[in-house]
Chain A
């Protein structure tokens, strides 16, 4: 029998759950836990410079590896600093466990030093949360937290640990690991068989079907089955921002991303479709444009593990609750049972129509010898990485350009804050990704605004040797906001100029890294290649870009899917 303190049980539980990396930051309430961590040979600590960074790192780690990301921060400000990152993970359904220190139980409610109601503050942005009342709650709650974070529709779980629960003086018998069971939580895996059969028939009979995939396909590991289905029925397929990579972006069936900044062909195909086969999406407002005008002729088949996502905004004609991978497996059975085959004539006709929309070439843009266009940067990074890199982005124009001009062929390669749109997400997420996949080429494509929201993590990268490559699309503006001011506010530029940026190359060097500045289009490719060739170095490539470039096409407000502003 091993007797352990609460802090030791916490560490041991993480070890038993297979945790190898813990992101975090110390403080008074977690002193005992950090002390116990010194004894762990399995868990490597990555210490951020701001707790938002630690939690985004855990998020990036989870997105790339598919495992639960974990971070540990102190009470009060440590916990509140993670709030944005928890909300980010919540919106994108990322499995993450955030362990927060808390003041001792006798002090709770007394406005003690560094006391905040962490469970209360985070309640609307977590899948679930726990406040430990005693030391033996720690192993129980952390095991449940990992199980909840990863199963069903994944999401962040907070475990708040009061200081007296980890007191090294009080020893307990460590409870052996057992399978987690909760009577109040039983996510559905398999879909309703009858529904699946009907849906398969609808799909085979459709004349203008479109497959729509989202982050759920990535999370459930259903990419392969989606591909088989698409090829079997020769289906056009589009994806949300979160689903990019779950179907090969370079495959001819792929129409590109849909929605506000989607491609013309994807949005037109949706608009004219007679069947939308949606898997792991939640039809948010960046996808649907005006809900009442959304895909007027289409029947909607909606497969999702979260019943609350079905018919939340767009009413599903045929809902199927279940895990995407499991349900698609059932589809193949249903297809075989009913002998369903591709309606070749109808699909040929449909593809002829789609190719006409494609011929518009909505992503073409003009270059010149003077100024680098942001799209060129993405294409240069694509070329230099062979399309194989893990790419994290921040939020803004550079994010949309990445989504549109870097076709991802595999899932878990594209890390971006889709639901919350968190500037400052990208850099720490890239760090988490590189920690999870040290052999992968991990790049951050960021903006001059966003990068400054978590720039302090440059120091973390030096300490823990995390050589990510950073490409700043430096347009001297909060470009996406400026774009709206230009298009919808009569060109009145209000507070979006960034004329006081630091010298990013000097910043890189000050933090002990490498930096390259580029301003001529002719120097771009060489600079990108040079940065990538410095394998063991973090390199910032500060790329001066055209301030006035817009992300186009763009859906018109109040319109249908296909109503778009196109580039001239």
Chain B
């Protein structure tokens, strides 16, 4: 099952590599990983999406927690109130003809995606949504136009409601 693991770590040298290393060392899989600073400059937040069964996700949580730099770990999707998750997709597509351009434009309107860069031959589309929606968007776009390049940010997420992950 797909899980979103949120980690608060001391913002120290090599902290991210310890987390990543742990996953490869123990044979856990990483679908996406993102990291960035938080409201507290001494803490960074790492979000990992992993596909693991119930027993394994508990083991992963315990192993991450064991890392000395890690302050807190939480499985976002286990939060009672649920979680908000998003990822960003950029997709560079060939947009040479009028017809393709119009279709891309209306597709972006439907999905609430944006065209963020335009050249005579290319569009860059930006789409922010859940992984499932991003996959769908990608699918539809690729049926419409030639895809030159895609880049995805990986998932970042936050628990809904009262639950908050901070020090």
Residue numbers of A with Cβ under 8 A of B are 119-120, 123-124, 127-129, 131, 133, 148, 182-185, 306-308, 311-312
> Once bound together, how far apart are the Cα atoms of A123 and B9, in whole Å?
16
B59 touches A123 (CB 8 A): no
CB neighbors of A among B1-59 (8 A): 9-10, 13-14, 17-18, 21, 25, 55, 58-59
Q: Is B69 an interface residue (CB 8 A)?
A: yes
> Once bound together, how far apart are the Cα atoms of A279 and B25, in whole Å?
26
> Once bound together, how far apart are the Cα atoms of A133 and B14, in whole Å?
13
Residue of B whose beta carbon sits closest to that of A315 = B55
CB neighbors of A among B62-92 (8 A): 62-63, 65-66, 68-71
Q: Given the complex, which residues of B lie within 8 Å of A183, measured CB to CB?
A: 71, 167
Residue of B whose beta carbon sits closest to that of A133 = B13
B68 touches A119 (CB 8 A): no
Count of inter-chain pairs, beta carbons less than 8 A: 39
Q: Given the complex, which residues of B lie within 8 Å of A124, measured CB to CB?
A: 21, 25
Interface centre among A128, A131, A182, A307 (most CB of B within 10 A): A307
Q: Given the complex, which residues of B lie within 8 Å of A123, measured CB to CB?
A: 14, 17-18, 21
Q: Given the complex, which residues of B lie within 8 Å of A308, measured CB to CB?
A: 59, 62-63, 65-66
> Once bound together, how far apart are the Cα atoms of A199 and B108, in whole Å?
61
Q: Given the complex, which residues of A lie within 8 Å of B55, measured CB to CB?
A: 311
B59 touches A184 (CB 8 A): no
B17 touches A184 (CB 8 A): no
Provide a sorted-by-A list of 15 A–B residue pairs whose CB atoms are within 8 angstroms. Answer: A119-B14, A120-B17, A123-B14, A124-B21, A124-B25, A131-B13, A183-B167, A184-B10, A184-B68, A184-B69, A184-B70, A185-B68, A308-B66, A311-B55, A312-B59
Residue of B whose beta carbon sits closest to that of A131 = B13
> Chain A nearest CB: distance from B74 CB in Å?
15
> Once bound together, how far apart are the Cα atoms of A148 and B69, in whole Å?
12
Q: Given the complex, which residues of A lie within 8 Å of B59, measured CB to CB?
A: 308, 311-312
> Once bound together, how far apart are the Cα atoms of A185 and B18, in whole Å?
15
Q: A124-B25, A127-B68, A128-B69 are in contact. List 20 more A-B contacts (CB 8 A).
A: A119-B14, A123-B14, A123-B21, A131-B14, A133-B13, A183-B167, A184-B9, A184-B68, A184-B69, A184-B70, A184-B71, A185-B68, A307-B62, A308-B59, A308-B62, A308-B63, A308-B65, A311-B55, A311-B58, A311-B59
> Once bound together, how far apart are the Cα atoms of A311 and B61, in whole Å?
13
Q: Given the complex, which residues of B lie within 8 Å of A128, measured CB to CB?
A: 68-69
> Chain B nearest CB: distance from A285 CB in Å?
15
Residue of B whose beta carbon sits closest to that of A152 = B66
Q: Given the complex, which residues of A lie within 8 Å of B25, measured CB to CB?
A: 124
Residue numbers of B with Cβ under 8 A of A are 9-10, 13-14, 17-18, 21, 25, 55, 58-59, 62-63, 65-66, 68-71, 167
> Once bound together, how far apart are the Cα atoms of A123 and B20, in whole Å?
11
Q: Which of A120, A129, A306, A311 contacts B66 (CB 8 A)?
A: A306
> Once bound together, how far apart are the Cα atoms of A312 and B60, in whole Å?
10
Known contacts A123-B18, A183-B167; is A307 also within 8 Å of B13 by CB?
A: no
> Once bound together, how far apart are the Cα atoms of A312 and B70, in whole Å?
20
> Once bound together, how far apart are the Cα atoms of A367 and B21, in whole Å?
52
Q: Given the complex, which residues of A lie within 8 Å of B13, measured CB to CB?
A: 131, 133
Residue of B whose beta carbon sits closest to that of A128 = B68
A148 touches B14 (CB 8 A): no
> Once bound together, how far apart are the Cα atoms of A253 and B132, in whole Å?
60
Q: Given the complex, which residues of B lie within 8 Å of A131, measured CB to CB?
A: 13-14
> Once bound together, how far apart are the Cα atoms of A123 and B23, in whole Å?
12
Q: Given the complex, which residues of B lie within 8 Å of A133, measured CB to CB?
A: 13
> Chain B nearest CB: distance from A152 CB in Å?
9
> Chain B nearest CB: distance from A308 CB in Å?
4
Residue of B whose beta carbon sits closest to that of A124 = B25
> Once bound together, how far apart are the Cα atoms of A376 and B13, in whole Å?
54
> Once bound together, how far apart are the Cα atoms of A120 and B24, in whole Å?
14
> Chain B nearest CB: distance from A83 CB in Å?
15
Q: Which of A182, A311, A312 contacts B68 (CB 8 A)?
A: A182
Residue of A whose beta carbon sits closest to that of B58 = A311
> Once bound together, how far apart are the Cα atoms of A183 and B59, in whole Å?
22
Q: Given the complex, which residues of B lie within 8 Å of A306, measured CB to CB?
A: 66
What 5 A-B pairs are tightest by C-beta distance, nearest first? A308-B62, A128-B68, A184-B71, A124-B25, A308-B66
Residue of A whose beta carbon sits closest to that of B66 = A308
> Once bound together, how far apart are the Cα atoms of A308 and B28, in whole Å?
15
> Once bound together, how far apart are the Cα atoms of A384 and B68, in whole Å?
46
Residue of A whose beta carbon sits closest to that of B24 = A124
> Chain A nearest CB: distance from B26 CB in Å?
9
> Once bound together, how far apart are the Cα atoms of A182 and B21, in whole Å?
22
> Chain B nearest CB: distance from A306 CB in Å?
7
> Once bound together, how far apart are the Cα atoms of A182 and B70, in whole Å?
11
> Once bound together, how far apart are the Cα atoms of A308 and B63, in whole Å?
6
Interface centre among A133, A148, A311 (most CB of B within 10 A): A311
Residue of B whose beta carbon sits closest to that of A123 = B21
> Once bound together, how far apart are the Cα atoms of A185 and B72, in whole Å?
10
> Once bound together, how far apart are the Cα atoms of A127 and B63, in whole Å?
12
> Once bound together, how far apart are the Cα atoms of A148 and B25, in whole Å?
22
Residue of A whose beta carbon sits closest to that of B14 = A119
> Once bound together, how far apart are the Cα atoms of A133 and B167, in whole Å?
26
Q: Given the complex, which residues of A lie within 8 Å of B10, measured CB to CB?
A: 184
Q: Given the complex, which residues of B lie within 8 Å of A185, measured CB to CB?
A: 68
> Once bound together, how far apart are the Cα atoms of A308 and B65, in whole Å?
9
Q: Given the complex, which residues of B lie within 8 Å of A120, measured CB to CB?
A: 17
> Once bound together, how far apart are the Cα atoms of A123 and B59, in whole Å?
19
> Chain A nearest CB: distance from B73 CB in Å?
11
Residue of B whose beta carbon sits closest to that of A184 = B71
Interface centre among B10, B62, B63 (most CB of A within 10 A): B62
Residue of B whose beta carbon sits closest to that of A148 = B68
Q: Given the complex, which residues of A lie within 8 Å of B66, measured CB to CB?
A: 306-308
> Once bound together, how far apart are the Cα atoms of A5 and B21, in whole Å?
35
> Chain B nearest CB: distance from A433 CB in Å?
28
> Once bound together, how far apart are the Cα atoms of A439 and B48, in whole Å?
54
B65 touches A307 (CB 8 A): yes
Q: Given the complex, which residues of B lie within 8 Å of A129, measured CB to CB?
A: 14
> Chain A nearest CB: distance from B165 CB in Å?
14
Interface centre among A119, A120, A184 (most CB of B within 10 A): A184
> Once bound together, how far apart are the Cα atoms of A183 and B71, in whole Å?
7
> Chain A nearest CB: distance from B36 CB in Å?
18
Residue of A whose beta carbon sits closest to that of B20 = A123
> Once bound together, how far apart are the Cα atoms of A334 and B29, in whole Å?
42
> Chain A nearest CB: distance from B27 CB in Å?
12
> Once bound together, how far apart are the Cα atoms of A311 and B54, in whole Å?
12
